[in-house]
Amino acid sequence: MSRKIIHVDCDCFYAAVEVRDDPRLRGRPVAVGGDPNRRGVIATCNYPAREFGVRSAMSSSHALRLCPELVILRPDFDKYRRVSGQIHDIFRTFTNIIEPLSLDEAFLDVSESPLHANSATRIAETIRRKVRDTLNITVSAGVAPNKFLAKVASDWNKPDGLFVIPPDRVDAFVAALPVNRISGVGRVTGEKLAALGIHTCGDLQAMGRLDLAHHFGSFGERLYHLARGEDDRPVQTSRRRKSASVEKTYHEDKRTLAEWHRELDDLLERLRQRIDRLDANYIIQGLTVKVRYNDFRIVSTDQGGDRVEREPFERMLSQLWERHPAPARLLGVGVRLRDLKSPQQPDLFPEEREKALRQHRGP
C-alpha cells in the first residue's frame, strides 16, 4: 500500500520566532547567530537577509559586510524548543507517527489517518493553517508517497507553500528532477555527475547499478533507488543516531599541525562523554575528523575503527595538514555508529545485483 507522507519544514524558524516576538523587526533583514566580533556563525536568517546573499553557516562578520543593516540576534534555544513543542502538539492532533528531524522539521505518516477523508493534502493544508493562526509563524509542507519525495516537495514552494506529488505523477516528476535535489548530492558529487553528462534523475536512470557502484561506491546504490523515486524508509517515531561528533570554533586560528594536535585531548574527551550517553545498542564502526580553514573551506576524512583513541585521529589530522597546511578556525572529531536495534536495509533487487556481479567477475 502506498504511504501518505508529509514533510513539514518551518520557514526560517529561529528568525521567524524572533520577528514574531519583536514587531519592530518586521520587514528588516534578521539573522540568528554568533557575535561577529568573536568569529560567530549565522545559524539562520530570514528572506530579506537572503536577498543580500546572507546564508546559514556564513561567518557573522561576512554577513554584515554583505548586509550592513542586518540585525544579528543571539539564539534562544529554550524559546525555540518551546515553540517546536507547540508545533508538535498540532501534529499529534492528526497522527502519532511523527519523526522529528530537528526543532523545525519533521516527517508525518498520515496513511491511516481518518481525518479529512484520509486526504494527506487537506491534512497538510490544515496543519499549515493551524500553525500560522496559533503561533503566528509559517511552515512549508510537501506531500508524497515516501520520505525522499516529501522532503523534496516541501522545498518546492518555499516559503509558506505546499506541494503535492501524487503516486501517479512520481515517474514524470522524478525524471525531470535535477540530481542536485537528491539528499547527499553535494558540490563534489554534483560535479562528478555533470562530468558524466548526468543532470537529471532521468539521466541517472540510464546508468546501471554496477556503473553507479563503480563511480560512487556504496552511495551508488542509494542513487539508483532515489533516481527512480524509490524510498522504503518508514517514518520512525524514535530516531536512532548514525553518528556522534563534537567540534570547536576557535577565537584565534590554530596555525600549525602541532596546535591542531594539542586540541585533540579536549575534543576526544568531549566525544567520549557524548558516546557514553548513548545506549548500549550502538557500536562504533568508523572515525572521522573535520577542519574548517580560516577561508571557510571545509574538509574531512575518515577511516575504519571501533575505539576512540588518540593515534588514528592524530594521523587523520596530519593527512589533512599534508593536503592543505593552512590555519584552522574549527576542528571536529566524530565516529560513525552502527545501531544494533536497526534492521539492515534489505536489497530490493538481489537477483539483479547477483547477475551484475557475475557479469563483472566474468566466467
**Residue carrying C-alpha cell 512549508:** 140
Nearest one of 23, 19, 33, 21 to 67, comparing CA atoms: 33
Residue 248 CB contacts under 8 Å (≥ 6 apart), including other chains: 263, 266, 267, 330, 331, 332
Do strands 162-164 and 328-339 pair parallel, antiparallel, or not at all (unpaired)?
Answer: unpaired
Residue type, 350: P
Q: Which of 69, 105, 311, 322 is catalytic?
A: 105
Which backbone phi and psi does 196 adopt, to 5 degrees? -90, 5
104 labelled binding-site residue: yes
Q: In angstroms, rounded to a whole number, what is the distance separating the alpha carbons of residues 115 and 142?
A: 18
The letter for the amino acid at 270 is R
Helix (H, G, I), strand (E, B) or coil at 283: strand
> DSSP characters for 159-186?
SS-EEE--GGGHHHHHHHSBGGGSTT--
* Enclosing H/E stretch for 50: helix 47-50
247 is a catalytic site residue: no
Determine the Cα–Cα distance for residues 158 and 188; give it in Å rounded to an integer: 26
279 is in an annotated binding site: no
E strand residue ranges, the chain? 5-10, 30-33, 42-45, 71-73, 98-102, 105-109, 139-144, 162-164, 243-254, 282-293, 298-303, 328-339
Q: Which residues are annotated as a binding site?
A: 9, 104
Q: Which residues are annotated as a binding site for Mg(2+)?
A: 9, 104
**Residues annotated as catalytic (active site), given as ranges:** 105
